[in-house]
Structure 1
Amino acid sequence: MANNFTQRITSSQNLQRRDLLADAMSPEELIQKKNLQVQEQNAVKSEAIPIETTFSVKLEQKFARELAILYVEAQDNLYRVRAHHAEQQTLETKFNSPPVLSYSKHMNKPNSHLPDIIIGNMRGFSENKAEARQIRGWLIRLRKTLKEKFQQDLSCLIINDRTDFEIPWEMMDLSTNEHLGASIPTVRWQDIPDPDNLDEADRLIPINPHRQECCGEIIAYATTKELTHVREEVKVINQFKANLFEEICEFSSYLPQVRHDVALMYIANHGFFGDDISDVTFGEERKFFNIGKETRTSLMQLRYWNFSFLKNCDTVVFMNACHSGRLRRDYEFQTSEFYIGFPTFFLKKGARGVIGTLEKVNDKYAAQIAHNFFQEYRSNPELSVPEILRNLRSQAAKKLQSGVTKPENWELFFYTFMYVYYGNPMTVLRLTPSGGKPHV
């Protein structure tokens, strides 16, 4: 059996089961193999099992011990969580009313956008809600088991949230002054139809759980005319070999010409998230000829851009823009069980990972977090992208704990936890320095 970790799910609403990782055995097959103690390696085609069925999957491979999966599912405006790991019995919470914890719900309320209110509400959820306490207990027991049995820690928690509730899971408490996303590297994931597999219409893009090195230069679109703090981001980017563009037309025209290795595509701009898919955009707000015309590029328009280099390179996309990590249910071209946004778009195009934000980000802190990201990369180049983000959250949490009376510490914590990662959990950056010598 290959080093793979499996995601299979069947819902009471006949949700189609999805392979999270390619070529993996289903939980049903593994259970049957365990129960019958069959020694042969041939996989048996599995049958659907009810979503209420609780099972414990025994996977002996390396990645099974290092990765855990958290499913978040919705039904009739309720939600529940299911957690899976090879060394621990599956957790399945009851369906509950969803908490109002999304960044957008709070920030759009008058006088309710302050970071301390959202952070405090998330702590209240962690301490008081039964499902949150169950998740925390399950993860704490799992980490203890891994340390005692294998002298390992949980290297990654994959969060497959298929709801509209936008719960900031990374901010959830694990224990006193220990936050989930500051303690465990987290990876967001979605069910994404595979555009290259025309023979199997229901085939999804799998997560690759193996180490992938993204080597090469940076391609960046960074607008400094409206966002003055982007200049600080440009200074950091120029420490590496980079092609920078300030005009969207020049940026889009350059992409089809890329024939070299690109480790990172970086976008620093305004981001927008409206009531419709067509409102998911990035760009500028400057006016042309005093007629108030905005220059924005929509997710729909990006479908016609040439991103072929993403198929040929191992590349991470970092969208340092408001709302860039948010997803919206796709009602237009698929069924409502799929969610789309910039993360799923770029993963479908071939990106190995995508970093985005869950709401509006203050320009000052967007630049600071970008600086912190590249600084952490330079200090610890062997870390995966999820590990770098984990460390940034940990640093922000420690800073808040050491200075709770300073508003800037609350804001740094608030905005740092807003950054999430979608993609391969073991992606490592290998950025070429500005001198041109490849990073080794």
Structure 2
Amino acid sequence: MTAPHPPTMRGLLNADGGVPVPRPAARPSTEPEPGDLVPPRPPDEFDPGWVGLGETLPAGTAMLCVTGSGSTKQPRLSLTWHHARTVQSAPNQPELPRLGLSLARLMKEAAEEADATPVRPGREGPWSAAYYQVRNWWQYQSTLVRWIRELFATAPQPRLVIWDNTAHNIPWELFYHQPSATSGSGPEGWLGELVPVVRWTSVHDGPRIAGYSAAQHVSKGSLLMLEEESLAVPDDGFTRYVVEPRVHSIDELMQRLDGTGEPPGLVMIRCHGFYAQSASEFTIGGPSLNRFTGYSMRTLREFQPPVVLNSCASGQAIQDKQLPGRPVRSFVELFLRYGASAVVAVNGDIDIDHSHEFATRLVASAAERPVNLAAALQEHRRYYCAELGRQRPGRDPKDVDEDYKHFLTSFLYVYYGHPDTTLHLTQPADGATGGDGTGRQEGAAL
């Protein structure tokens, strides 16, 4: 018996008469349309690279996320940039913390030198030296420079949210933007002068630790004010807007915030603050950061007024030394957690005169018309930038150096909240107003 020949390729191709084998009909696609896609669940812990962080930001607004890593002896920063639906990162940046970019520290050193050594003609004063030191901090941060230039190049009215979960106290508003000499990218100047800069921090309140929970808020009403008696100024301009006689202690203010009186449009706290790296020693108006957690502040939860913490160190943060990568604690975070829609605070020691001027200017502006709080801080900085630019030859060197001090001081104020939150101050509904304080302690810090 002859063995069968193996099938040939021609035979296989003609086995079905050359008719192609019918293919099954394509199954209908089950992929949903882009508009039906369910957004991913937010992370349980803060993730600076989570794409959902920038979803709620207004057009033309970028977000810079700053996180810490490494040990306290060798700290590193990681920067993450959210803009135009893209996310970019620059991990493990050791230079920024190594330089000690703390405006509070820099100003303290300048103040000590100014007290010890008089400014002499022809020599640079301590405040001028601090100014130029800040201006040159950023020249090696090439990635950050590129991101900021891209923002100016692509957004007609750029705004920036800086989510800083570190305690390095870096003055991001003092980033000096210099357009490229070849391509150009917006005007030259200080970031906090050129654009409204908004701060944010992780809020220790469930999902708020991982998501940007700031919401646009339109605040309208009168002023609820705490002012230590030693800081009061007669006829200070606050009186007609104060909802009731201003209180003079934190405990009095907290009783008012637990009461049922007229809801305030703004809460202002003007008292002394003292920074410490321990939550039991970091204080505003006497009570420590730890003790503040014992207050309920029901008025904040119900009406969400903005809060101005017009006190030394009120904007600084503390970090658990054992967990350098974890979100920080601060008075700003506490007031946001307890219901404030926005917080204005101070990132270092500020003198009484400047703090009073800032407060009166903010109140006067908000009484005339609704003001955007981020823009109000931008205007405050612009004022002192312009003053610095009007220097004339022949002035006393000490006065010239003081102009640099006032400039740097204006950048101590930082704003936490939503880019579009506004404030409009009105007189109390019943026409009753609180009284002015009396007395003043000149030249000291808050």
Instruction: Tell me: CA distance 1:231–1:159, structure 2 relative to 1, closer, same or farther (3 Å).
Output: same
Contact 2:76 2:92 in 1 (8 A): no
Separation (CA, whole Å) in 2 of partners of 1:204 and 1:89: 20
For 1:187, what is the secondary structure of its paired residue?
strand
Deviation at 1:249? 4.1
Aligned residue number for residue 401 of structure 1: 389
Please show how residues 236-275 of structure 1 align to structure 2 within 5 Å.
Answer: 236-243=237-244, 244-275=246-277
Separation (CA, whole Å) in 2 of partners of 1:92 and 1:178: 24
Separation (CA, whole Å) in 2 of partners of 1:56 and 1:216: 37
Aligned residue number for residue 165 of structure 1: 168
Separation (CA, whole Å) in 1 of partners of 2:315 and 2:383: 21
Deviation at 1:371? 2.1
Aligned residue number for residue 426 of structure 2: 432
Separation (CA, whole Å) in 2 of partners of 1:231 and 1:136: 43
For 2:38, what is the secondary structure of its paired residue?
coil
Instruction: Tell me: CA distance 1:329–1:181, structure 2 relative to 1, closer, same or farther (3 Å).
Output: same
For 2:113, what is the secondary structure of its paired residue?
coil
Contact 1:325 1:357 in 2 (8 A): yes
Please show how residues 202-221 of structure 1 align to structure 2 within 5 Å.
Answer: 204=209, 206-208=211-213, 210-221=215-226
Deviation at 1:206? 4.6
Deviation at 1:341? 1.2
| 1:343 counterpart (311, 329, 332) | 332
| 1:39 counterpart (25, 34, 40) | 34
Contact 2:167 2:328 in 1 (8 A): no
Find out whether 1:364 has 2:353 as its counterpart: yes
* TM-score normalized by the length of structure 2: 0.73
Separation (CA, whole Å) in 2 of partners of 1:143 and 1:65: 13
| 1:321 counterpart (300, 307, 311) | 311
| 1:191 counterpart (179, 202, 207) | 202
| Alignment root-mean-square deviation, CA | 3.4
Find out whether 1:97 has 2:95 as its counterpart: yes
Structure 1 range deviating more: 180-189 or 238-247: 238-247
Contact 1:101 1:121 in 2 (8 A): no
Aligned residue number for residue 222 of structure 1: 227
Contact 2:306 2:342 in 1 (8 A): yes
The structure showing larger relative contact order (alpha-carbon pairs under 8 Å, at least 6 residues apart) is 2
Deviation at 1:45? 4.2
Separation (CA, whole Å) in 1 of partners of 2:51 and 2:165: 22
Instruction: Tell me: CA distance 1:103–1:331, structure 2 relative to 1, closer, same or farther (3 Å).
Output: same
Gapped regions of structure 2 (runs ≥ 5): 1-30, 116-125, 179-186, 432-446
For 1:221, what is the secondary structure of its paired residue?
strand
For 2:34, what is the secondary structure of its paired residue?
coil
Separation (CA, whole Å) in 1 of partners of 2:403 and 2:227: 26
CA deviation vs aligned residue, 1:113-133 (integer Å, no higher than 9, x gap): 94323321110113x22x2x4
Deviation at 1:142? 2.0
Deviation at 1:353? 0.7
Deviation at 1:165? 1.9
Contact 2:61 2:160 in 1 (8 A): yes
Contact 2:371 2:422 in 1 (8 A): yes
Flag the structure with larger Rg.
Answer: 2
Instruction: Tell me: CA distance 1:58–1:378, structure 2 relative to 1, closer, same or farther (3 Å).
Output: closer
Instruction: Tell me: CA distance 1:430–1:46, structure 2 relative to 1, closer, same or farther (3 Å).
Output: closer
Gapped regions of structure 1 (runs ≥ 5): 1-35, 148-152, 284-295
Deviation at 1:65? 2.3
Instruction: Tell me: CA distance 1:55–1:314, structure 2 relative to 1, closer, same or farther (3 Å).
Output: closer
* TM-score normalized by the length of structure 1: 0.74
CA deviation vs aligned residue, 1:292-340 (integer Å, no higher than 9, x gap): xxxx1112222122301111113011011100011111479x9961211
